[in-house]
A and B are shown apart, each in its own frame.
Chain A
Amino acid sequence: MLEFTDVHVRYGHVEALRGVSLRVERGEIVALLGNNGAGKSTTLCAASALVPLSKGTISFDGEPLPDKPWDVVRGGLVHVPEGRRVFSTLTVLENLQLGGFACQDKASVSRRIDGVFDLLPLLAKRRGQQGGTLSGGEQQLVAIGRALVAGPRVLMLDEPSMGLAPLMVAAVMDVVRRINAEGTTVLLVEQNARAALGITHRGYVLENGVVTLSGPASVLAEDPRVVEAYLGS
């Protein structure tokens, strides 16, 4: 459904991605693991048209991705960025409404917002509160809920567990699993390999801008290289 073929991205002289190829099939949750600076976020930004490719292609449903970020969102590929980026002085409800910006049909936007409130009842309670006053975990839920209002067919999540307490990490992962169970395909970028591999079908390991390992989550979780580098024995 989402396929990266030999994707290269450079920032000035630094080559951040050096030929990344990976694919996400309809209905899957796929993990993209790796250390700081491995190129995980850049991979997502390339798909969101935030950074240009210097070589290679990314296709979505067999079509090349559009080159404007708003057209990518409109097409159904939605990116929850690293650090959540909740709009701090907008209320929770306004943050969610913004997720529906690109959608012309306002009735379906408000249906989706109701759907988010059903999935994440905490947000319904906080709907009138400013985004910046929420805790980190709550902000992560806002960021995810907001992306759902955009009506994604594929949801890309960048380190949703970052900076969260272990209980909150488990809660966020559970939300991601439920979103996937309701039919949304997910590409999950994580440093927290244990949490990610617990809910994903397959995974890729990215190192220095190339994919060095890939396979079913259960196999990756047993792979000595993954255990040593990311899980600890």
Chain B
Amino acid sequence: MIQLVWDGLFVGSFYALVALGYSMVYGIIKLLNFAHGDIYMLGAFAGFVVLSGVGGVTAAFSVVALVGALVAAMAVTGGLGVLVERVAYRPLRGSPRLAVLITAVGVSFTLEYGVAAAGANPRVFPVRVESQAWQVLGVRITLAQLALMAIAVGLMIALDRYVNRTSTGRAMRAIALDPKGALLMGVNVNAVISRTFFIGSALAGAAGVMAGAYYGKIEFLMGFLIGLKAFTAAVMGGIGNIRGAMLGGLLLGLLEAFGAHFLGGEWRDVFTFAVLIVFLSVKPTGLLGERVSERV
């Protein structure tokens, strides 16, 4: 039982990292960025390229190399997210939302099949965190899981502080509420939106490297399913809400772990998307997505 909880929280922390970018972008420009899962995939490939370039990494250095690859992949995916926004989404700002949504689907395919053209075969991730396991309270916990989860939690805490305590974070929340009002406060809205894409994409890239290192195999469609699951997580938590995305990710991981345990592994994804449908029809604002009532 506790094993299920731990496994669920572990997978959920990946979902949460990806869901954050989904939710941040939706919050600030009301766009469901369907290309977000592919940024996660590109993070995995960027990490793969960096680690392959370093060459024969000995086991002792694997964690150091992995952190290095993580940072490099975050920089690459962050930059890519900014580029996608600049090229594909900014020219359409102010257009009907459906137009931007379809563009996002187009960007998603472009990224997927761009990577496929560059080398479609599934790759084996060159570094795997050594899986030394401990038994804690009857739960099998590996060093790899612990390290990856610590990184994920660290990134989430850093993001939460950034959004809630810094001037740019405040500007992000202001744009989410009222872009025109933010303009009149002297906020360079374009720059803040770029930064939001950078951060959200970098988090997805980090999750991609972590998933590569943990599961050991990467391929160009790996972002598709996790993109949809991250969307589910974001909806569960209340889309646009940062803490909601974290909560939704962890909760979805838990639900999946239990669902797969009791229904059988082949029902995992069916269960996940059934949860999405239930949330969209019963509580579309999500768990934390309630707005303060406004007096006029």
Contacts and interface: CB of A to CB of B under 8 A. Distances in A.
Given A50-B183, A98-B185, A90 B170 contact: yes
Contact of B294 (A70, A90, A132): A132
B296 A87 contact: no
B187 A101 contact: yes
Interface in B150-182: 167, 170-171, 173-174, 177-178, 180-182
A108 interface: no
A50 B180 contact: yes
Nearest to B187: A101
B186 A89 contact: no
A53 B163 CA distance: 36
B296 A136 contact: yes
A81 B184 contact: yes
B167 to A, nearest CB: 6
A132 B170 contact: no
A87 B184 contact: no
Contacts of A80: 184
A132 B293 contact: yes
Nearest to A94: B170
Contacts of B187: 70, 98, 101-102
A109 to B, nearest CB: 9
Contacts of B296: 136, 163
A178 interface: no
A98 B170 CA distance: 7
A139 to B, nearest CB: 8
A86 B177 CA distance: 9
B295 A101 contact: no
Contacts of A136: 295-296
Interface string A38-53: 0000000000101000
Contact of B177 (A74, A89, A133): A89
Nearest to A73: B186
B137 interface: no
Contacts of B170: 90, 94, 97-98, 101
A36 interface: no
Interface string A135-158: 110000000001000100000000
Contacts of A135: 295
A209 interface: no
Nearest to A146: B185
A89 B293 CA distance: 9
Interface in A84-143: 85-90, 94, 97-99, 101-103, 130, 132-136
Interface string B124-168: 000000000000000000000000000000000000000000010
B95 to A, nearest CB: 16
Nearest to A69: B183
Contact of A70 (B178, B181, B188): B188
A157 B90 CA distance: 30
Contacts of A101: 167, 170-171, 185-187
A132 to B, nearest CB: 4
Given A98-B185, A101-B167, A146-B185, A89 B295 contact: no
A87 B186 contact: no
Interface string B171-208: 10110011011111111110000000000000000000
Contacts of B184: 48, 50, 69, 73, 78-81, 85
A89 B240 CA distance: 13
A141 to B, nearest CB: 14
B173 A88 contact: no
A51 to B, nearest CB: 11
A47 B183 CA distance: 13
Contacts of A74: 186
B98 interface: no
B57 to A, nearest CB: 43
A150 B186 contact: yes
A102 B186 contact: yes
Contact of B181 (A68, A85, A103, A130): A85
B60 interface: no
B185 A150 contact: yes
Given A90-B174, A97-B170, A85 B180 contact: yes
26 contacts: A48-B184, A50-B180, A50-B183, A70-B188, A70-B189, A73-B184, A73-B185, A78-B184, A79-B184, A80-B184, A81-B180, A81-B181, A85-B184, A87-B178, A87-B181, A88-B292, A89-B291, A98-B170, A98-B182, A99-B185, A99-B186, A101-B167, A101-B185, A102-B187, A134-B295, A163-B296
Interface of B: 167, 170-171, 173-174, 177-178, 180-189, 291-296
Interface of A: 48, 50, 68-70, 73-74, 78-81, 85-90, 94, 97-99, 101-103, 130, 132-136, 146, 150, 163
